[in-house]
Amino acid sequence: MASSFEREVSFPYPYMHVFDAAVGALRSKRMDVYKVEPHTGEIKAFTGASLASYGEKIEIFAQAHSPTSSSVKVVSQCQTPMTVIDWGKNRKNVEATLANIDAYLKSMPPPPADPAAPPVVNAPPVVKNVPPKL
């Protein structure tokens, strides 16, 4: 069995915000995303070979808990089935992916107050003019 690492984290954002952030997080790290299923919450990608490994499979499972709360489970597994020791590569993949999801969510506008309103996805961050401190 190949070496793997997984972690689940909840976010105070609607499902589609979290799902879009997860897809964006994988693509921003130049991972090859080959499956995106918003209806099931499943996203699959893989990394290429490097000096540290022959590559890893990354799977994300997003789930809505309420109109304003969702979670993602990120799993990283070595592509080579006989890999027993991954030298921390899977943990790094999971932690980096979760950090990118969090950063992506923070760059989005806040979720709408009305859960029935459609979410604004991929909008530029809101910039406020703040007077300089003297």
Q: Could you read off the pLDDT of 82-93 as tens digits, one per residue?
A: 777 788 889 999
> How would residue 127 be classed by pLDDT, with cut points 50, 70 and 90?
very low
The 3-class SS string of the chain reads: CCCEEEEEEEECCCHHHHHHHHHHHHHHCCCEEEEEECCCCEEEEECCCCCCCCCEEEEEEEEEEECCEEEEEEEEEECCCCCCCCCCHHHHHHHHHHHHHHHHHHHCCCCCCCCCCCCCCCCCCCCCCCCCCC
In-domain check, residue 102: yes
pTM, 2 dp: 0.78
* Mean of the per-residue pLDDT values of the chain: 84
The stretch 93-122 carries a mean pLDDT of 78
- CATH number of 16's domain: 3.30.530.50
The residue among 113 and 28 whose pLDDT is bigger is: 28
The stretch 4-33 carries a mean pLDDT of 93
The domain of 71 spans: 4-107
Q: Could you read off the pLDDT of 22-68 as tens digits, one per residue?
A: 999 999 888 899 999 999 999 999 988 877 778 899 999 999 999 99
In-domain check, residue 128: no
In-domain check, residue 127: no
Q: Total domain count for the chain?
A: 1
